[in-house]
Chain A
Amino acid sequence: MKILVCISKTPDTTAKIAFTDNNTKFAEAGVQFILNPYDEWYALVRAIELKEADASTVIHLINVGTADADPIIRKALALGGDEAFRVNTDSRDSFYIASQIAEIARQNNYDLIFTGKETIDYNGSSIGGMVAELLSMPYISLATKFSLSGTSATVIREIEGGEETDEVTLPAVVSCQKGMAEQRIPNMRGIMSARTKPLKVSEPAPVDELTSIESFELPPSKKGVKLVPADQPEELVRLLHEEAKVF
């Protein structure tokens, strides 16, 4: 079994969001970057669990990004990836990024491709579906459970107000979210061995970008909370009805 896990570098969940260069670039100064939580906690850890159940499993990692991403790739190798690819580009277009992933995937014939459900910076939730279409593979989005029996996978995906249980024959692409696995911390042996695991850097394949980010903006700041005394809760109901007009 060969698994490819797509990993992305994102600002920490508590990072302050600001922009530079006339609001066209994310202000990276002083921001701590992390492995995108959905990629790490759910996609990667589930892949590691599959490897623990079947030692012949090989886990490859792919990141489409610049050299700034190398520390988070090393972390993913420390958690349990065997080998990593990085396609060297700073593109922010999902189609361009998915095309680079598909290119690497074509060269390596994976049985399974995992992505996180979305990145916490661009919130596109698009890479998995795009990679599946580029490789003509079935795609199961927003999976909360994944189990394997030979080359057949049973996957539970979230739907409005419930869940759906699907069966699919590999190869397939699955986007992973909460429920798939639990967060892990890399151990010292993993961190040491990650230093010597292969991280292959390649230049991007020529592909068109279909979109481009023109600018960023911050939401208007809140006016501040209007506090209602605890002994007058009916006043809150009046305000919500007459002032905020929400019911």
Chain B
Amino acid sequence: MSVLIFLDQTDGHIKKNSFEAACYGAKIAEMLGTTAEGIVLGSVKNDLTELGKYGLKKIRSVKNATLENFDDEVFTHVIAETAKSTGATVIVFSNNFNGKAIAPRLSVKLKAGLVSGAVALPEVANGFVVKKNVFSGKAFANVSIKTELKIISLNPNAYKVVEAEGKAEVEDLNIEIPQGRVKVLSVDKVEGEVPLSEAEIVVSGGRGLKGPENWAIVTDLAKALGAATACSRPVSDSDWRPHHEHVGQTGLAIAPNLYIAIGISGAIQHLAGVNRSKTIVVINKDPEAPFFKAADYGIVGDAFEVVPKIIEAVKKLKG
């Protein structure tokens, strides 16, 4: 019996969302009176023993040239084999892009019930019930997993990373790796930016900014806060900003600790992508903007006057 956590990596670095999944999985292991183990596929630059600080006792590492590119079928096979040989009873993923590709496959392969988009620890006193996000952030469902083996994919930024003392034991696994059927031709990533799905603070701009030439107030505030930048749908549709920055119903759904919306009116489709943010700040010159109803803090005013002063105040605070 154990809890197995998939530690997703990019360019040899384990993703922040995976540390959240590790801490979450370690807590479930504690609740069930068992141990938490991580699985890493492909070569990483991290010192794997250090992952003990997230509560992991053991790291299963599988290295093979085939694993250097992501293939959900191959990854599913390796995780399934590992889960069987280690006797895992709960498998945890981050509900990020790769988690969404692997977890459903694994659910079928192992005939293990899956809850995707979990936002809290399971209730284990009577069965195994996991709270998940439904109706695009407007409600939660408590879902019972009826199978012995259970899979949970945890929403990014839904569980706090806590570090403690501890070293993990690392074990290299030899598993026969099948050939993948999806060939990766190229990977294009924006360098040096905080990925939106991992950001704790997000600064977002809307049509109220009037044009891409005015985006400096958004990017400067983001820089001062160490935040990621985002935008509303009309902004990405008009190509003022790249499509991967679009948050909302049809774009990315995010749940940062702080979401600052500048010049965004707050259409219900936009709110569906950001309403799980812990604190929402709205800056808009229209006091009737619907976004104020969903906000925690707001300023009714001209963004071009207000935001530069906020940037100054943040810089002063951060010294």
Contacts and interface: CB of A to CB of B under 8 A. Distances in A.
Given A141-B72, A216-B140, A167 B190 contact: no
A58 B59 CA distance: 48
B31 interface: no
Contacts of B185: 154, 165-167
- Interface majority SS on B: helix, strand, loop or mixed? mixed
Interface in B174-214: 181-190, 193, 195-198, 200-201
Interface string A102-139: 00000000000000000011111111111011100011
Given A160-B15, A178-B246, A246 B139 contact: no
B78 interface: no
Contacts of A91: none
A147 interface: no
Nearest to A218: B139
B310 interface: yes
B301 A230 contact: yes
Interface string B258-271: 10000000001100
Interface stretch (B22-30, B49-57, B110-118): B110-118
Interface residues of B, number: 98
Contacts of B184: 164-166
Contact of B190 (A126, A128, A161): A161
Given A123-B133, A214-B144, A230-B306, A236 B297 contact: yes
Given A133-B105, A219-B140, A164 B187 contact: yes
Given A126-B107, A158-B97, A213-B143, A140 B182 contact: yes
B109 A158 contact: no
Contact of B282 (A130, A132, A225, A239): A225
A124 B73 CA distance: 19
A129 B189 contact: no
- Interface majority SS on A: helix, strand, loop or mixed? mixed
Interface in A38-80: 38, 41
A210 B307 CA distance: 50
A162 B313 contact: no
A17 B275 CA distance: 14
Contacts of A28: none
A134 B145 contact: no
Interface in A179-198: 179
A139 B306 contact: no
B42 interface: no
A246 B201 contact: yes
Contacts of B133: 123
A124 B253 CA distance: 13
Interface stretch (B32-40, B161-169, B288-296): B288-296
A29 interface: no
B186 A130 contact: no
A169 B181 contact: yes
Contacts of A122: 134, 141
B258 to A, nearest CB: 4
Contact of A226 (B96, B142, B225, B297): B297
B104 A123 contact: no
Nearest to B108: A133
A212 interface: yes
9 nearest A-B residue pairs (beta carbon): A230-B301, A129-B104, A162-B189, A210-B113, A161-B195, A133-B108, A234-B313, A126-B104, A237-B313
Given A210-B113, A233-B299, A234-B310, 14 more contacts: A13-B136, A13-B249, A13-B269, A95-B114, A133-B109, A138-B181, A160-B96, A161-B189, A163-B188, A165-B185, A210-B147, A230-B302, A236-B313, A246-B257
Interface of A: 11, 13-14, 17, 19, 37-38, 41, 94-95, 98, 120-130, 132-134, 138-142, 144, 154, 157-169, 177-179, 208-219, 222-223, 225-231, 233-234, 236-241, 244, 246-247
Interface of B: 10, 15, 70, 72-73, 76, 95-98, 100-105, 107-109, 111-117, 129, 132-147, 181-190, 193, 195-198, 200-201, 225, 243-244, 246, 249-251, 253, 257-258, 268-269, 272, 278-279, 281-282, 292-302, 305-307, 309-310, 312-314, 317-318
